[in-house]
Structure formats: C-alpha cells, structure tokens
C-alpha cells in the first residue's frame, strides 16, 4: 500500500536554492522513493516573486513526478506552514561580496520571529524544521524561541554544507574516497569561526589525523579553506552557493528522517548543555539519527586546540544571540 503524503513547506521557493531544491524533494531524494509529498511553497507577497514561484511550479508540473501529490503557492507563513511535517526555511537575503553572514541578521532576523510564530500556531507538532537562511544558527535560535509550544528539538540549523566541504577537502588531501570518511564533525557556528574537526575521523577504519599528520595544514590551510568556502564561492560565481546548499539541505533532512545507520553527521541543534555549550545555543554538533530523531554523540575528548576553537565560535554565537534579544 502506498504511503500517506507528507507536507513539506519550503520558504524562498522562487530563489536560487529553492530552484536547486524543490525538484529533488519532489523526486524523492529527500524523504525516500516511496514517500509522496505535498509542497507548500512560500514566497514574499510581491507580484514578481509570486509570478516567479508560479513559473517554478509550472516546471514542477512538467516533470510529472510520481511522488508529487500536491503543490500550493503561499504568500503568508500562516497558510504555508499549515500542518507541515517538514519546514525548510530558506527564504531570506543572501550576502554579497565582502560581507559576513552575521551582517544579515539586521535584515533577516525578523523573518524568523514571524515564521517561528506561524510554525508554533499551525504546523504539525512533530514538524522538523531546518533553517538555511543566514546567519543560519541564530535564525534557527530565533525561530525556536518564537515557537514555545513546539519541542525545542524540532529546530535545527544547517551545518551540513560545512561538513560536506570538510569531507571533500579531506578526500582530496588523502587521495581517498569521500564516501569512506566517517566520524567527521563541524562544531559551532556556520561562519568562518566554525571548527571542522577530523581528530576522530576514519577512512575504512584508519585514523585520518594519523594519515594527514600535519597540524600546520590543519590550522593554516584546512580550517580557513572550509571556514571561508562560502565567500570563495561568492567571489568566483558572483552569487552565493545554491546547488551545494540545496544538496546539503537534502542530506540533512534525509538523514534526520530516514536515519544514518550509526554514521556521524553534523547538525546545528539546540544544546542541552553538552560539551559546556549553554542550553539552547544552536550549535553544530556530531549526531547520529535513528527513527526520525537525532542523538548527540557525547563523551568526545576536547583537547586544548579544540577547546580554543570551540570557545571562539561559541563566543561569536552568544554575541549574535545577545544582538537579537529584542526579536524574541
């Protein structure tokens, strides 16, 4: 018997990430090839944006996806999020050259107050929320704080692009297959302060740290490359990453919904105080996923270098959080 369709809300649906994301959700890459979906698409209530959204929906129609059980265009989060089982909050302004993501808080922060309240009012009580719009961690924090009737654990921020970037750099450095890399983690904020940590990583059971054995490369090449990759893409493309961001969103949601078979992945999740990260801080942590729930990997040793990095990214996040107190 075929499965009951689930409702997937996507904001910023006519934007560049939206265009790289919707077709993959509708084809079953996110929730499985046996899971029908109803897309509830939100754009700003502006004639041009709504018209562009209609165009994307025409193309979705033209794909005749067997799993696309329905599709709606919305200009109001109160209708877009109605009964949503999944919500991908992409819609917000991207940065341009020379900007840091945190500078977007002033223009984007308020979006997540309104959308958090709307999720609180109308979404499924089990809704799984992924915030992509930057600065992703703090926007996810705002949305979570604006939705007091939903479990905190339903709110997550996207660190998966950083995780995938780190894996790709390690594969290139070691000459090994990216698919064989396990136990990688990116701690903290989706910003240049993030700490991509391969101390526990393995490739076919062998230690990546031992394979690389080059702390100078770690500190002066690997970490800056991963941390500043978003800016490098903007510099090269003239636009911020879209296809790789959409791909990371698919990875994040698929793993959360369908499980990781014990494999570690990185998710931005609200802390419960582990690793000294204060409760509610939306922080990149290593997790495994099973039965639709993520579980933090606990008990990892934090050495002095790592502690210094974690402190730095935490400090930045706390500064961002303090700056949005008026939005909550």
Ligand X SMILES: O=C([O-])CC(=O)C(=O)O
Select the residue interacting with ligand X from 11, 35, 134, 156 (CB under 6 A).
134
Told to check if 102 binds ligand X by CB under 6 A, we report no
- Whole-angstrom distance, CA of residue 294 vs CA of residue 161: 18
Select the residue interacting with ligand NAI from 181, 194, 196, 242 (CB under 6 A).
242
Told to check if 164 binds ligand NAI by CB under 6 A, we report no
15 annotated among ligand-binding-site residues: yes
Q: How many CB atoms are closer than 10 A to CB 119?
A: 29
Nearer to ligand NAI, 17 or 68 (CB): 17
Q: Which two tokens stand for residue 91?
A: 């819609």
Told to check if 223 binds ligand X by CB under 6 A, we report no
Give strand pairing partners of 156.
130
Q: Which string of x and - marks every residue 12-31 that binds ligand NAI (by CB under 6 A)?
A: x-xxxxx-------------
Told to check if 43 binds ligand NAI by CB under 6 A, we report yes
Contacts 24+ apart (CB under 8 A), 100-103: 100/191, 100/192, 101/134, 101/135, 101/136, 101/190, 101/191, 101/230, 102/135, 102/138, 102/191, 102/316, 102/320
Quote the least distance from Cβ 175 to ligand NAI, whole Å.
27
218 annotated among ligand-binding-site residues: no
307 annotated among ligand-binding-site residues: no
Quote the least distance from Cβ 228 to ligand X, whole Å.
9
Told to check if 95 binds ligand X by CB under 6 A, we report yes
Told to check if 241 binds ligand NAI by CB under 6 A, we report yes
Q: Where are the beta strands (DSSP E) in the chain?
A: 6-11, 37-42, 68-74, 86-89, 128-131, 155-157, 181-182, 185-187, 195-197, 202-203, 206-207, 265-270, 282-290, 293-296
Nearer to ligand NAI, 12 or 28 (CB): 12
Quote the least distance from Cβ 202 to ligand NAI, whole Å.
25
Catalytic sites, residue numbers? 190
Select from ligand NAI, ligand X, none the partner in contact with residue 203, using the beta carbon and a kind-dependent cut-off of 5 to 8 Å: none
Question: HSE of 56 in the Cβ direction (CA atoms, 13 Å)?
Answer: 28
132 annotated among ligand-binding-site residues: yes
Instruction: Kindly state the number of chain residues that form the binding site for ligand X, as judged by CB under 6 A.
Output: 11
Told to check if 241 binds ligand X by CB under 6 A, we report yes
CA distances (Å), origin 203, targets 1, 179, 206: 40, 9, 5
- Whole-angstrom distance, CA of residue 190 vs CA of residue 46: 30
Told to check if 133 binds ligand NAI by CB under 6 A, we report yes
- Whole-angstrom distance, CA of residue 78 vs CA of residue 56: 22
Would residue 276 be called left, alpha or beta, if left means φ above 0 and alpha means ψ between -120 and 50 degrees? left
Quote the least distance from Cβ 101 to ligand X, whole Å.
5
Residues that bind ligand X (CB under 6 A): 94-95, 101, 134, 161, 230-231, 233, 240-241, 245
Known binding residues = 12-18, 95, 101, 108, 115, 132-134, 165
Residues that bind ligand NAI (CB under 6 A): 11-12, 14-18, 42-44, 49, 90-95, 111, 132-134, 136, 158, 161, 190, 240-242, 245
């Amino acid at each position: 018997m075929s499965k009951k369709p689930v409702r997937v809300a996507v904001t910023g649906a006519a934007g560049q990430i939206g265009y790289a994301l919707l077709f993959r959700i509708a084809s079953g890459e996110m929730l499985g090839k046996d899971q029908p979906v109803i897309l509830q698409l939100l754009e700003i209530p502006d004639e041009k944006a709504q018209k562009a959204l209609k165009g994307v929906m025409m193309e979705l129609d033209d794909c005749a996806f067997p799993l696309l059980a329905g599709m709606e265009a919305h200009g109001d989060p109160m209708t877009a999020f109605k009964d949503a089982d999944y919500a991908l909050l992409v819609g917000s302004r991207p940065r341009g050259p020379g900007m840091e993501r945190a500078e977007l808080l002033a223009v984007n922060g308020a979006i997540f107050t309104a959308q958090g309240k709307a999720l609180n009012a109308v979404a499924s009580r089990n809704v799984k929320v992924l915030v992509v719009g930057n600065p992703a961690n703090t926007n996810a924090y705002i949305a979570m704080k604006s939705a007091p009737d939903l479990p905190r654990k339903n709110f997550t921020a996207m660190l998966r692009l950083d995780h995938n970037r780190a894996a790709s750099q390690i594969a290139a450095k070691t000459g090994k297959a990216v698919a064989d890399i396990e136990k990688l983690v990116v701690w903290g904020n989706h910003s240049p302060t993030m700490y991509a940590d391969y101390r526990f990583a393995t490739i076919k059971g062998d230690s990546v740290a031992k394979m690389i054995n080059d702390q100078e490369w770690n500190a002066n090449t690997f970490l800056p490359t991963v941390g500043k990759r978003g800016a490098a893409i903007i510099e090269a493309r003239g636009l911020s990453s879209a296809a790789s961001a959409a791909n990371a969103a698919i990875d994040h949601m698929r793993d959360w919904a369908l499980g990781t078979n014990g494999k570690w992945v990185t998710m931005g999740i609200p802390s419960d105080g582990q690793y000294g990260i204060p409760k509610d801080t939306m922080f990149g942590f290593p997790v495994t996923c099973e039965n639709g729930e993520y579980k933090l990997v606990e008990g990892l040793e934090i050495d002095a270098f790592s502690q210094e990095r974690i402190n730095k990214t935490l400090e930045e996040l706390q500064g961002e959080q303090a700056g949005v107190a008026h939005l909550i």
